[in-house]
Structure 1
């Protein structure tokens, strides 16, 4: 039963149709899988139909000639390029079912679109205009690879230069094309002609493709920061000429770089001798590649740093050469480390003092004072032994040799300490007095005392410890006094005398009164020598004697002759008395007349 339309009904309805007929349902049509083919004919593959059914092909679009329109596996030819749509129908008692299949007939003649020339092993773009599938191939097949041979649009990667033939084979044919892979000479567009002091330098290359790498030839090694980059920096480890080469795109190019040294310059050093100092500040300017300091000289040298600024310290005086090595060159400077001999202010003899001040002059820090020679048993003490100026005290008089050392040298001086005897004097005093003044000159503040060492005793010394004192003696004569000072002493003799009063008469009659030619105050304490001569009125010498009046024996003249000891006649005689006054330290002469009154004649 077939219901075509429904009318007058609303709402939801459920319709169950049943039949008691024994007729089976129709076969569902299946036209088969769609096809894409390179030819203009193919075999269709639809499903079969039942014996009480009819199957039939029909053309929906395109073109085709069926070998049998009722054969589910009919052949179709004379297809149009592109889509051809065919419909398979199965018709039975219960109706008709249909299904369609698409047969795409591909135009398989490929058209290759590839560059004729490629540089620097760049990837080769492979393009082909073709319908349907195909496959790429290349001859020769070595040193090149095709990334995806089954893809019409792919790339080929060469690893060697040369000529390659690419072929694409499609559904209905194939086509080929030659591609030349050429080298391209790179160029180095940045490089230095000269490099100083092993400094790093920049390199830049330019190449069409296939970036390569950097290389070199030269006396040393070069390290490239990135040898595979077109832009790199390079650092050499030896001086000289280097050939820098860039390899790329199957070729290479080179440039010469001269890596050379520049002499360092010493910009700070002593320009005069260094006295009494073992250190010198040094500074050098160097463009690059600093190496450090060395030296030549009489002693050892220690550098505070091997950098461009350093302090050199030596351990001996002398001339040193300081050498700086840098940038493949050397420079040097000479510095003279010199001792400065000290000097000592010379001194006169030190009297009456066991101490003095020593003063030296020099440069630098002093080493100090020492004693080289000194009197036996002496001791020496310095107040400031390690200073230029010091006080020195000794305990013995004598000559001392002192040494001052400083600045690698020494100076010596002799200093004599002497006891200074006091200088004594007694001012003139009137004759015929028994008093006098004693004066001592000395620097000794503890001088004294005055002491009588010769002369009659009972001398009165007013102040024994005063450098100026008054003395009183008991009689005429020569008195000797001693005064102590400065560990020594001096003596002075003071004479007390009165002018001789010589008598002019004698009466040698034995009465004990005026019997002798006696001269008062004539004594050996005052006079050290005397000589008396008596001459008669005819000029004849009648008496003479040496040491008259001053000998140990009383030798007063009694009016006799000296040769026969005969008494002289009464009369007038002439006398001459020569004396040496030891008090006054002078010769004196007395003369005159003496009358003899002799009772016997």
Structure 2
């Protein structure tokens, strides 16, 4: 309380506090709720833990209170704390309005499906008068929404190993997790190794220690067992590496009919062998089968071979691969294009490659051998069909010659260009565009087209045309257009030797550079206000245009329009190739919510300092004091004096009035002593307005044993609500004041009686 408060005000406050204290001595007393038995279950007793599910969710608590009677419109509300017993944001469980003359009754409630914890508390709140009971004792409460046996596997893959055993090799680790529960990461788990509870609580566990692993959902100390979620068991064991390999060379060749056997370097240890060719199983798994015969009489025996071993106390291990080649089988690959266009006086080179060990070459033209053409490459100057025949001269295997694919060398009848836009292009939207040569096709007499771009693009000379006319200086394969006055059709022509080529035509249409702006006399429709008129920055005389509202044309003849409805307005001029589109004017209906201020309507400031309030959303502002004196006309004002102020915000002829109350912050210290003796003086623990009556500030009081005795947001300076709880002299209590979970103040309160 400020020192400037008059003695009359102090006397009035003392009288008010005395009246409140005297009445509170005879006020209703709400007792803490306690668990009760379920009358719908025979032989039932009061529950000690709530293990609810979709098949059973019916619980009762007993509540008693003492007269005098509550008001006729009163309701009793049963509330639930969070899992830690905190009532900062309680959950309503039940509400009754027909127990206002019943001093001992029971609430029926269902456990919410997001409740999981061991320390939930309940309390009862009356609405008229507003009072709150002490909290109940803590109870374990869990909504068991999953109650089937879990299934665990490595990485949650769903692959449970035969016998439930996984052998760990190489000193690594594995991750186990359940694979049959939806949203697995939203639960808490109990993981076990050989009967010992492990500290991990997540949905997966990474382990390397041998043992028997299993898991269950953690529904607390009582509800876990009733959920029956205990999983299968995975036994983790450790094995040793065998160092498996295939004897002999890792790359060799065989001829058809040769005999050969692959042999693993380990045998006689009771191991199981599986043989692979090109990654697929070809033999096994077979016990002690450490050899594999290669059937060279079978086509396709060549490839890569591996062997994999497994066995008791041994790691599953696969060898490095061995490559076997067919010495009588080789390939010939054509390197050049399948079709080549050859101009007069030009030379082209044909090339082939082979994997034959000792090849010889013979080139053919139109089916006949070419004299002295016995190399891997051939230079040609004539049209025709060419291929090369390769013979294997080494390797000790009989084989037939192999021919390459044929290359068709043709003389062109004509050429054509294909041009396209470079990058994205949208008519009437793109501000500049580049056109480029994409492909050169050689066209035969039959109309067949062959792509010869890579061969001939550097041989052509080029010229771009615009609407059929030559463009001076544009003689490259690309052209860029960036002026709407150059809109039109573009094409590319070219010359090589005696051939002339021309391209397809591309249309270029870009918007004019005119900046069209629409202005308005207002943006908010308001009853009784001047009309909102929209006008253009450009003259519309001799122009074809249209006014558009929300995408629909509303006028095509008026140079200005009047907005009589809310919506988005634009102007389009249609005279040029592309329409010129204006900015958008958005007209809104008048609504007081258009005005925003950055401070609450009731602002607390420190005396001597300035509290600034800033408004937004309106066209103009006026700030007035309680005597209607104009203080300012900016969008913000700095307040230094207590009182009520008026903000008048204008939207055209529409106005919004907002009353702002300025109060000085209480600077007195938080009291640490009260005298709850009923004399009306210092009977209540009164906090400064920084902490009291604030929706986001939680006030909690504990007794000397740490038990919570009071918890309330929007604290109304109303503790203690009864003096009957003070059963000895000079009792010590502890308080904590928090905001959004962050501690603001804490200390002690001594209650003197």
TM-score normalised according to structure 2 size: 0.24
Give the number of the structure whose residues are more often strand, by fraction. Answer: 1
Higher RCO, 1 vs 2 (CA within 8 Å, ≥6 residues apart):
2
Structure index of larger Rg: 1
